[in-house]
Amino acid sequence: MTNNDPIYFDEPHRQFRDNLRRFVEQEIVPKALPWEDAGMVPREVLRTMGELGYLGIRYPEQYGGSALDTVYSAILAEELGRSTFGGFAVTVLVHTDMASPHLANYGNPEQLARHLPGVTRGEKICAVAVTEPDAGSDVAGIRTRAVRDGDHWVLNGSKIFITNGVHADLYFVGAKTDTTAKGSRGISIFIVEKGTPGFRVGRKLNKSGWLSSDTAELVFENCRIPAANLLGQENKGFYQIMRNFQNERIVLGAQAVGEAARGIELTLDYVRQRKAFGATLWDKQAIRQRLAMRAAQVAAARQLVYHAAWLDAQGRECIKEVSMVKSLCGELVNEVLYDCQQFHGGFGYMREAAIERMVRDARVQAIGGGATEVMLEEVAKRL
């Protein structure tokens, strides 16, 4: 075990990490820059990841999965974060750990047999559609409605900021099914397939960062879906969403840790070579001590991420720890990469520098998946 390995790691964890890191370094990093301009990750990349078993690590073997646990999801997220392409990382993680778990956790046998094998193979890409213009972290405020009409449900409403929204094949859509219920009650989740009449991509959104992930506004206008597409129990969708938020926030924290750790590595390489005033930047005490402190903070955050992942894998209550992970890591990655860009000087402001892209990509880590302020309230409730 290396000094940086969490105590929860054993040899299979290390083998999984090492294989995944080689894949990212060989198949992603040299090829991903054009994906930023294209605004999407090529489908063949996701199919390759499916063939290698990276898209179904938590799912039953009968559906093409590996039946592993949350710790492996955190490893996946951390290594994808290390790619320096946040858009690629989140494209995969939305599919594996934010959208498809709704199907895996709540799908009936028919739904699982129909969709999950394609999900694990990377043939059916997933998106989760909950966020609306007036309902982000406040899931209870969603306004999209679903009304039962015989053997169908009719959806009307819109969703915003939906990752994989343009190119997904399966959408897990939250809608109000009981308008008389207050607050979080009366929400249900539905499977909506691409091409369903009445469902369309309103527009592709232009973001500051995560450029290689496609993000969209979705519109539902009298969208009729079979009653069999109800996912889980009617009017219990809020609790399904809240359950999966735990998983989502762990992987976002792990992704942030991977980004911060890689940012420090790139910066160490740079400051040890860059000379100013007769010496390298590494010879400047202020710079090397700042990087040393940032390395200590990232190491501590990493241990918290894997502790939360282990708690979740053991089925233990860990809302406080997961909320700590999301709030701490989302802020820390921004602080770390700010310093990394600063120590790169003018080069760090150029689009050709990985650090410049990483800074833009990191900003949303304190917003998406539960804003820092919301997460801190969850922690405060449990102090």
Residues 6+ apart with CB under 8 A from 150: 227
- Residues 49 and 54: their CA atoms lie apart, in Å, by 5
27 is catalytic: no
Minimal CA–CA distance to 358: which of 85, 36, 88, 92? 85
Task: Indicate the SS3 state at residue 161.
Answer: strand
Per DSSP, 97 falls in state I
- Residues 50 and 53: their CA atoms lie apart, in Å, by 5
Between CA 268 and CA 353, with CA 276 as vertex, the angle to 5 degrees is 45
Tell me the two tokens of residue 240.
């399904």
Task: Indicate the SS3 state at residue 142.
Answer: coil
Largest CA distance in the chain: 79
What string of DSSP letters covers 212-239? TS-EEEEEEEEEEEEGGGEESSTTBHHH
Between CA 338 and CA 343, with CA 342 as vertex, the angle to 5 degrees is 120
> Which one of the listed residues 248, 259, 321, 331 is annotated catalytic?
248
Residues forming the active site: 248
